[in-house]
């Protein structure tokens, strides 16, 4: 017991300390990016998210790189559309080949929710950069309106973004303006559609529907559940 309390205390102390560092970083970013920064979120002792305006996407990358965030972790995109094929594998709409009327209703009934640091559009690009000397990291997001999926390329800032942008482009249909080599990375050149979009059906699932969770593996310790409680 004494050990546990000791651990809890140190954890708490750490959280407060790191939190201050992240808040300081956030205020610095706010002053640097000014209007470009739309929203932010600090999870104490854990992580920092910022959502920037689409036009400030490249500037945000450059600003961060100047602030010693020299390490490029990843760049990708999110499709926030609730899947028209059902929320999970037990869902009955999942069993149909095309989204049915009901499925549309369900999708409409279910509002589109975006995640940490908010968002207003269906598509978001997001990326993560690290400052390896201090261990800080920032996750950036930017909204992209449905009718204009364009955003500036990060290649001049982080050359490693090249392949990540090609992947995001083929998987989500996002156009990275200024990308020198916007060809498909994984998919064949003549591939139709953008597979990671939520409205792109996973064909194998359509052909042979998932039987559902009928066989939940018992976890170790399940047997003595009664004893502990």
Partner 1 sequence: MTAVSETEQLRYISQQAADARVNVEIETEGMTLNLGPQHPATHGTLRIIAKLDGEQVVAAEPVMGYMHRGYEKLAEVRTYPQVTTLVNRIDWVGSFANETPFILAAEKLMEIEAPPRAQYIRTILHEMSRIANVILGIGDMGVQVGAVTPIFFAFRDREYVLNQIEAVTGGRFHPNFDRIGGLKDDLPAGWIQNTKNAMEKVREFCDQIEELMYGNEIFQARTRGIGIIPADIGLSYGLSGVNIRGSGVDWDVRRDATPHGLVYDKADWKVWTHPDGDSYSRMWVRLQEVREGTKIVDQLLDDIPSGPIMAKVPRIIKVPAGEAYVETENPLGVMGYYVISKGDLNPFRVKIRSASFNNVSITPWLLKGVYVPDIITILGSLYFILGDIDR
How many angstroms separate the CA atoms of 128 and 48, rounded? 10
How many angstroms separate the CA atoms of 108 and 82, rounded? 9
Kindly state the number of chain residues that form the binding site for partner 1, as judged by CB under 8 A: 57
For residue 18, which phi and psi values (nearest 5 degrees)? -65, -35
End-to-end CA distance of the chain: 18
Find the shortest distance in angstroms from Cβ 88 to partner 1: 5
- Number of residues in the chain: 229
One of 25, 37, 72, 151 touching partner 1 (CB under 8 A):
72
Alpha-carbon torsion 60, 63, 69, 71, what sign?
A: positive
> Can you read off the two tokens belonging to residue 56?
């400030």
- Give the x/- contact pattern for partner 1 in 4-43, rule: CB under 8 A: ----------------------------------------
- Of 13 and 186, the one with the shorter C-beta distance to partner 1 is 186
- Of 158 and 176, the one with the shorter C-beta distance to partner 1 is 158
- Taking CB under 8 A as the rule, does residue 63 contact partner 1? yes
Find the shortest distance in angstroms from Cβ 101 to partner 1: 22
- Taking CB under 8 A as the rule, does residue 96 contact partner 1? no
């Amino acid at each position: 017991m004494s050990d546990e309390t000791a651990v809890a205390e140190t954890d708490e102390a750490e959280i407060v300390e790191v939190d201050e560092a992240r808040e300081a970083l956030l205020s610095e970013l706010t002053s640097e990016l000014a209007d470009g920064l739309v929203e932010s979120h600090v999870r104490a002792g854990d992580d920092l998210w910022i959502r920037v305006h689409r036009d400030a996407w490249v500037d945000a990358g450059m600003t961060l790189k100047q602030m010693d965030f020299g390490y490029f972790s990843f760049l990708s995109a999110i499709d926030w559309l609730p899947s028209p094929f059902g929320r999970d594998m037990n869902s009955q709409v999942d069993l149909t080949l095309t989204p049915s009327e009901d499925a549309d209703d369900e999708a409409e009934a279910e509002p589109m929710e975006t995640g940490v640091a908010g968002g207003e559009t269906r598509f978001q690009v997001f990326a993560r950069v690290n400052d390896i000397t201090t261990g800080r990291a920032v996750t950036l997001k930017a909204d992209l309106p449905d009718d204009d999926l364009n955003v500036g390329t990060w290649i001049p800032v982080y050359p490693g973004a090249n392949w990540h942008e090609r992947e995001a482009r083929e998987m989500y249909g996002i156009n990275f303006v200024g990308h020198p080599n916007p060809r498909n990375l994984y998919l064949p050149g003549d591939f139709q559609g953008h597979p990671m979009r939520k409205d792109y059906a996973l064909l194998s699932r359509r052909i042979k529907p998932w039987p559902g969770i009928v066989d939940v593996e018992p976890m170790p310790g399940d047997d003595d559940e009664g004893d502990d409680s």
